[in-house]
Amino acid sequence: MKNKINLIIAFSMIFIIGCDFSPTSSSEQISDYEIIEMIRNAEKIEISIDELPSQSQANLQQEYIDYESLNNWKASGIGYLAELSGRGQRAGSFREVYFNMDGRKLDHNDREDEDRPDEDGEDERSECFELVLPVTYTMPDGSTITVETDDESSWSSLRSWYESNPDAEDEPSLGYPVDIMYGADSTVTINNQEEMENAYSSCRNEENEDRPDEDGEDSCGAIILPVTYIMPDESTITVEDDSGYGLLREWEANNPESDGEPSIQYPFDVLYLVENQEVTVTVNSNEEYMNSQIEYCSSDRD
């Protein structure tokens, strides 16, 4: 059902643009949340941060001082997506911030569907991995600061340096190699900035219309664990509990050249909630999975 809704939105957007109707001038007719969904489902081109509208650039500089630009995308005629990676105490966090064509930040909570629960915050944020301490940063003047523990007093030493050096514009550089941890039992060694960027790229909440989400949840149901994923190299990863999804991200971080995506192994069970009653469905193929969404999600959302 979610895929059908997304397709309807996308086709509606094509029709709207063809009629010289822009989301930036239709706030009374279309919500920010709907524009965000359009950006997510649209074909996008990668752009530099300098190609974002000036209002968007100012917003990122003012509101996201603990983040740095990772990737920026433009959905022509619809809006922009800025992907941010955490730094310092925010290391391991990944954010998606959306803007309309004028550069105004879009609010995930601006929606007409009042029954849908609010997002956690105004933009998409996920805690992708944890930076294993201690780590050492090289400051712009060549000095080094080592962060021993994950507490305010340890991280404050970085901020104190900038307070003492107000004219410094460059960012501190993280000393490699470092270890990052996905979940409780999955650790990866990162040897350089390129590998770190690849690790953040694995955090991206990419839509996939042909399979369930990698966090095990779909638009209105939940996959019952354990399940097995077939990786692009034909190896398999079994996810026993929620923490096991970190193994998928670990594989992606260790295989940055892989172009494929994990595919879930059938059969598996999906739990749907229909009229406050739990319904478990065993699906044996992608077609059966999509049909179950149509059957059970439609009654939940009409």
Helical axes 32-41 vs 2-18, angle rounded to 10° = 100
Are the CB atoms for 109 and 119 separated by under 8 Å? yes
Are the CB atoms for 248 and 262 separated by under 8 Å? yes
**Residue 150 dihedral angles phi and psi, to the nearest 5°:** -90, 75
Residue given tokens 């956690």 in the structure block? 120
From CA 247, how far away is CA 183, in angstroms rounded?
Answer: 8
Tell me the whole-structure pTM to 2 decimals: 0.54
Residue type, position 293, single letter: Q
Residue type, position 280, single letter: T
Q: What is the model's pLDDT at position 25?
A: 43
Are the CB atoms for 251 and 198 separated by under 8 Å? no
Q: What is the model's pLDDT at position 61?
A: 86
Per DSSP, the residues of the chain read -HHHHHHHHHHHHHHHHHTT--GGG-TTTS-HHHHHHHHHHS--EEE-GGGS-HHHHHHHHHH-TTEEEEEEEEETTTEEEEEEEE-GGGTTEEEEEEEETT-PBPPTT--S-TTSPPPSSSSEEEE--EEPSPEEEE-TTS-EEEE-SSSHHHHHHHHHHHHH-TT--SPPEEPSPEEEEETTTEEEEE-SHHHHHHHHHTT-----TTS--TTSB-SSEEEPSPEEEE-TTS-EEEE-SGGGGHHHHHHHHH-TT-----EEPSPEEEEEEETTEEEEEEE-SHHHHHHHHHHHHHHHH-
Are the CB atoms for 139 and 171 separated by under 8 Å? no
User: Could you report the per-residue pLDDT of 150-202, keeping only the tens digit for each?
Assistant: 888 888 888 889 889 988 878 888 999 999 887 666 788 888 888 888 788 77
Domain ranges within the chain, ordered by starting residue = 1-125, 128-207, 212-302
Are the CB atoms for 106 and 99 separated by under 8 Å? yes
Q: Tokens for 244, please give them.
A: 């096991």
How far lies 239's CA from each of 21, 183, 204, 233, in Å? 45, 12, 19, 17
From CA 244, how far away is CA 96, in angstroms rounded?
Answer: 23
From CA 137, how far away is CA 135, in angstroms rounded?
Answer: 7
Are the CB atoms for 105 and 59 separated by under 8 Å? yes
Give the residues across from 98 on adjacent strands.
81
Cis amide prior to 212 (ω within 30 degrees): no
Are the CB atoms for 79 and 98 separated by under 8 Å? yes
Q: What is the model's pLDDT at position 72?
A: 92
Are the CB atoms for 111 and 34 separated by under 8 Å? yes
Low-confidence stretches of the chain (pLDDT < 70) are: 1-29, 111-126, 183-185, 204-221, 290, 293-294, 297-302
